[in-house]
Amino acid sequence: MSSATPSEPLKPPLEIPDPATLAAEIVKALKYRDGKDAAVATKDDWLTASIQVVRDRIIDGWIASTKQDDDSGAKRVYYLSLEFLIGRLMRDAFSNLGFMEAMRAALGSLGVELDEIATLEPDAALGNGGLGRLAACFMESMATVDLPAHGYGIRYVNGMFRQEISDGWQVELPETWLDHGNPWEFERRERSSEIGFGGSVDAIVSADGQREQHVWKPQERVLAVAYDTPVVGWRGSRVNTLRLWSGMPIDPILLEAFNAGDHIGALRESNRADALSRVLYPADSSPAGQELRLRQEYFFSAASLQDIVRRHISRYGELRSLPDKAAIHLNDTHPAVAVAELMRLLMDVHGIDFDAAWDITKRTFAYTNHTLLPEALESWPVPLFERLLPRHMQIVYAINAQVLLEARMSGQFDDCQISRISLIEENSERRVRMGNLAFVGSHSVNGVSALHTQLMKETVFADLHRLYPTRVNNKTNGITPRRWLLQCNPGLTALAREAIGDRFFDDIDALRELDRLAEDAAFREKFAAVKRANKERLAALVATRLGVRLDPSALFDIQIKRIHEYKRQLLNIIEAVALYDQIRSHPERDWTARVKFFGGKAAPGYHNAKLIIKLANDVAKVINRDPSVRGLLKVVFVPNYNVSLAEMMIPAADLSEQISTAGMEASGTGNMKFALNGALTIGTLDGANVEISEHVGDDNIFIFGLTADEVTQRRSSGYNPRALIENTPELAQALAAISSGVFSPDDPARYRDLVSDLYDRDWFMVAADFDAYAATQRSVDAVWNDSPDWYAKAIRNVARMGWFSSDRTIREYANDIWNVPL
Ligand SMILES: *Cc1c(COP(=O)(O)O)cnc(C)c1O
């Protein structure tokens, strides 16, 4: 195992002000910035003032970091992502600056409780799930390891929808996180860019008469206005920038149209610009396919590239050195159109010829693939792409010609393989393949776990990998231990510190020293007490929010993530139903008390995912009120899963459910957060579960089910779920109950189709894995009942998860992909 070098703070830690100074600053901010007297200030006012005080202190470091990078001519990393699921920022900043206790005392002296105002901060939900949260962890780690980096994305006015559960069904409501202003952001009008859409392309002869030059004349233009948020690294070592673009009309109101009486038409341009940064498409792992989505992708890619090019030119005066000074990273294919946009800027605006431009482009870009699901790969109909981005369409054709020429010249491919390499899908409808564009336009293409990268080489990118065999590489995902241990689990942090000192604050691998304490009965008891306190906190939240009383001594079994068939919440629910049957049929047995928690949002148009939420709630209703289970089994669905809820639930978990169909979860990062917080994992050999099991050891994890190879094999050799179900009485009985309306007496047919699909097709292999899953759950019970053994395993999980720090991941990106050695 490679051990990263301990991250000594590169600058001395910031001086921590005393509470009295901070208190005075808070009162001053309240008065002179917000015009409020302390006597009438609301909790929201205190929150804003506290953020302003800390923000002021971040700004010095921010300016210093930016100046240092400008002066040194350091290479910068630009991380382009349509999502940044950053959550709340106040604790992050307090904790990374080391201000937490001083701020707590300062607020306390003013009669304000820090933890109380902290929960009022809106959760910046600018992401769907894992992909967006990864970008947020990467931003924090890049600042921590002292890497000059900018994140680029969209400032969605309404980010991810807020989920309410009404009568068991998901209801989507707008998230209004900006309603009370956002003290973290700085508007930068001077950093605005004009972004064009549509129109036509003229071909002219270049000034020197040597070449044909293209001029794009967009029909429509909008402004992209920058909003910057500072991102503070651990111990304030560096402050980087997250720059989010907002759409603005160039002419807020077309007066000519307005005066002519066309009041709606006069605002059309304004509405179009506004729509660009209004909502994040709520589909995770499946392309939205809407014109607005392509507009959003081009809007933020083009604004970011203009910014990068402008910065480079102002310092170096030319663009040929761009790859030496800028590494542009594409987080999935959403910004892949940036490849064509950089080519356009290099050729059409800066007069560089195709070959040189193509060389610069490839050396500048790198791309991370996040999914293998064929239906999830982005592609755009050629007519739409051409209408919106006519010049980019020409450039895509030119790139394609070059790539197909290289493929033919290599002599390795038949026509069928050539057609898979092509950037244009030629089947029924011609489409631009964004994955192929990102692949050919980048010098590095990485997967996010060892298994995912292997499968990428064998499946989606098999032909492109053969053509460019050195391009694909693996960078297993990680999570920032600051947010996902130090902040979310102060109890465990304090316990570890008491036991092994605070070296792990700076070098997470030092957690290893906890390993030997797994054998120490006194330490195990303290560890169990911390877990217990976290569970009580979660039980209190469930009691207030859902009115369900939970026993904190029960095993807390948690599955929180987007609702998706491949993640198999359904397998977990069916197992709950089977267990419910068993408890009722054999009340004399020694059952283990367990609470099954679920949480997660479903894409609003994803019928089965929404039905699975309803099923979890229907099953919960029946089980929770049945006296014959005597509280041995409870099921709860916690609404509106987001980063803040994750921070509350993960430290309270005993068991982490990571049960996707093998081969379908690219990595997972929820799995890492749970293990770092001392939950044992029940999971398949999928995504990063494989590497987690290697790190924590086979004895400290519950692995079950088909492997990815076995799934492929079963699918290709006539998988017959019906026969299988009919031979598995527990499963058949649970499915019969669900299908016949035991849990939905008001609508007995509600789940008929969901269940019949398991009999007829079962693409996600729920039936094939059911027995192994249920049996493994009973071994979980057995270990749980041997409490010293359970906590020894849990402690070993915490001790051995250091490798999954996103600092390690970022160092690998920096060394192997971005060429900014750390
Ligand atoms: C970590 C995280 C995810 C990703 O979870 P997976 O289990 O890896 O899918 C999604 N949403 C939130 C809010 C998270 O914090």
Among 479, 562, 673, 676, say which to mutate for ligand 1: greatest number of ligand atoms within 8 Å of CB. Answer: 562
488 domain residue, yes or no:
no
**Which residue has its alpha carbon closest to ligand 1 atom 6?**
670
11 domain residue, yes or no:
no
- Asked if 82 contacts 335 with a C-beta cutoff of 8 angstroms, the reply is yes
Phi (first) and psi of residue 547, to 5 degrees: 65, 25
Per DSSP, 803 falls in state G
CA torsion sign for 284, 285, 291, 296 is positive
**Which residue has its alpha carbon closest to ligand 1 atom 15?**
643
- Over the stretch 654-674, which tens digit does the pLDDT of each residue have? 999 999 999 999 999 999 999
Do 575 and 564 sit in the same domain of this protein? Answer: yes
Q: Residue 669 CA: which ligand 1 atom is closest?
A: 8
Domain with 278 in it: 73-87+123-477+810-818
Beta bridge partners of 221: 196
CA 686, CA 673: separation in Å to the nearest integer?
A: 16
393 domain residue, yes or no:
yes
**Which residue has its alpha carbon closest to ligand 1 atom 5?**
670
Residue 130 CA to ligand 1 centre (angstroms): 5
Active-site option among 91, 431, 562, 596: 562
Q: Residue 672 CA: which ligand 1 atom is closest?
A: 8
Active-site option among 568, 601, 673, 750: 673
Active-site option among 561, 594, 596, 800: 561
CA 460, CA 535: separation in Å to the nearest integer?
A: 42
Do 330 and 359 sit in the same domain of this protein? Answer: yes
**Which residue has its alpha carbon closest to ligand 1 atom 7?**
670
Among 561, 565, 655, say which to mutate for ligand 1: greatest number of ligand atoms within 8 Å of CB. Answer: 561
Q: Residue 567 CA: which ligand 1 atom is closest?
A: 9
Up-side HSE of residue 538: CA atoms within 13 Å toward CB? 34
Q: Residue 647 CA: which ligand 1 atom is closest?
A: 15
404 domain residue, yes or no:
yes
- Over the stretch 775-817, which tens digit does the pLDDT of each residue have? 999 999 999 999 999 999 999 999 999 999 999 999 999 999 9
User: Does the pLDDT of residue 397 top 80, yes or no?
Assistant: yes
Mean predicted confidence (pLDDT) in 316-340: 98
Q: Residue 643 CA: which ligand 1 atom is closest?
A: 13
Residue 262 neighbours by CB under 8 Å, 6+ apart: none
Q: Of all residues in the chain, what percent carry a pLDDT higher than 90?
A: 89
Is 392 noted as a catalytic residue in this protein? no
Is 452 noted as a catalytic residue in this protein? no
Is 561 noted as a catalytic residue in this protein? yes
The CA–CA distances, whole Å, from 703 to 8, 561, 661, 673 equal: 37, 19, 13, 18
- Over the stretch 50-61, which tens digit does the pLDDT of each residue have? 999 999 989 988
Do 28 and 138 sit in the same domain of this protein? Answer: no
Q: Given this model, what pLDDT does residue 13 score?
A: 53
Q: Given this model, what pLDDT does residue 253 score?
A: 65
Q: Residue 645 CA: which ligand 1 atom is closest?
A: 13
Residue 273 CA to ligand 1 centre (angstroms): 31
Do 294 and 244 sit in the same domain of this protein? Answer: yes
Do 419 and 564 sit in the same domain of this protein? Answer: no
**Which residue has its alpha carbon closest to ligand 1 atom 8?**
668
CA 300, CA 293: separation in Å to the nearest integer?
A: 11
Supply the CATH number for residue 737's domain.
3.40.50.2000
- Over the stretch 601-658, which tens digit does the pLDDT of each residue have? 999 999 999 999 999 999 999 999 999 998 899 999 999 999 999 999 999 999 999 9
Do 695 and 734 sit in the same domain of this protein? Answer: yes
Q: Given this model, what pLDDT does residue 147 score?
A: 97
CA neighbor of 424 nearest in space, from 383, 382, 467: 382
For the chain, what is the domain count?
3
Mean predicted confidence (pLDDT) in 471-491: 98
User: Does the pLDDT of residue 389 top 50, yes or no?
Assistant: yes
Is 370 noted as a catalytic residue in this protein? yes
Residue 785 CA to ligand 1 centre (angstroms): 29
The token duo for 510 is 């030092």
Q: Residue 560 CA: which ligand 1 atom is closest?
A: 7
Residue 300 CA to ligand 1 centre (angstroms): 24
User: Does the pLDDT of residue 10 top 60, yes or no?
Assistant: no
The token duo for 702 is 């519950």
Active-site option among 229, 371, 480, 669: 669
User: Does the pLDDT of residue 8 top 50, yes or no?
Assistant: no
Residue 618 CA to ligand 1 centre (angstroms): 24
User: Does the pLDDT of residue 4 top 80, yes or no?
Assistant: no
Among 83, 92, 133, say which to mutate for ligand 1: greatest number of ligand atoms within 8 Å of CB. Answer: 133
- The H or E element that residue 387 is part of is helix 382-388
- The H or E element that residue 477 is part of is none
Label residue 5 by pLDDT band (50, 70, 90): very low
Residue 133 CA to ligand 1 centre (angstroms): 7
Q: Given this model, what pLDDT does residue 7 score?
A: 41
Residue 134 CA to ligand 1 centre (angstroms): 9
Residue 779 CA to ligand 1 centre (angstroms): 26
CA 731, CA 622: separation in Å to the nearest integer?
A: 18
Q: Given this model, what pLDDT does residue 214 score?
A: 96
Residue 671 CA to ligand 1 centre (angstroms): 8
Do 216 and 322 sit in the same domain of this protein? Answer: yes
Is 673 noted as a catalytic residue in this protein? yes
**Which residue has its alpha carbon closest to ligand 1 atom 3?**
130
Residue 484 CA to ligand 1 centre (angstroms): 12
User: Does the pLDDT of residue 14 top 70, yes or no?
Assistant: no
Mean predicted confidence (pLDDT) in 245-250: 94
Angle between helices 521-546 and 490-500 (to 10 degrees): 170
727 domain residue, yes or no:
yes
User: Does the pLDDT of residue 109 top 90, yes or no?
Assistant: yes
532 domain residue, yes or no:
no
User: Does the pLDDT of residue 9 top 60, yes or no?
Assistant: no
Beta bridge partners of 633: 594
Among 669, 677, 684, 689, say which to mutate for ligand 1: greatest number of ligand atoms within 8 Å of CB. Answer: 669
Q: Residue 687 CA: which ligand 1 atom is closest?
A: 8
Mean pLDDT of the chain, nearest integer: 95
Active-site option among 133, 238, 329, 370: 370
Residue 132 CA to ligand 1 centre (angstroms): 9
210 domain residue, yes or no:
yes
Do 455 and 572 sit in the same domain of this protein? Answer: no
57 domain residue, yes or no:
yes
**Which carries the bigger pLDDT value, residue 118 or residue 71?**
118
Mean predicted confidence (pLDDT) in 379-408: 98
CA 496 to chain centre: 28
Per DSSP, 681 falls in state E
Do 644 and 754 sit in the same domain of this protein? Answer: yes
Q: Are strands 444-447 and 365-368 parallel, antiparallel or unpaired?
A: parallel
- Asked if 206 contacts 353 with a C-beta cutoff of 8 angstroms, the reply is no
CA 820, CA 811: separation in Å to the nearest integer?
A: 9
Q: Residue 673 CA: which ligand 1 atom is closest?
A: 1
Q: Please provide the distance, in angstroms rounded to a whole number, between the alpha carbons at the two ends of the chain.
A: 18
Do 155 and 253 sit in the same domain of this protein? Answer: yes
Among 563, 638, 643, say which to mutate for ligand 1: greatest number of ligand atoms within 8 Å of CB. Answer: 643
Per DSSP, 346 falls in state I
pTM over 0.85: yes
The CA–CA distances, whole Å, from 735 to 49, 576, 578, 726, 777 equal: 55, 11, 9, 11, 18
Is 562 noted as a catalytic residue in this protein? yes
Do 281 and 407 sit in the same domain of this protein? Answer: yes
Active-site option among 567, 634, 695, 796: 567
**Which residue has its alpha carbon closest to ligand 1 atom 11?**
129
Beta bridge partners of 69: none
Do 115 and 132 sit in the same domain of this protein? Answer: no
User: Does the pLDDT of residue 729 top 70, yes or no?
Assistant: yes
Can you tell me which residue has the tokens 């607020």?
107
- Over the stretch 248-274, which tens digit does the pLDDT of each residue have? 998 776 667 767 777 777 777 788 899
- Enumerate residues lining ligand 1, CB below 6 A: 129-130, 133, 561, 642-643, 646, 668-670, 673
Residue 85 CA to ligand 1 centre (angstroms): 10
Mean predicted confidence (pLDDT) in 132-154: 98
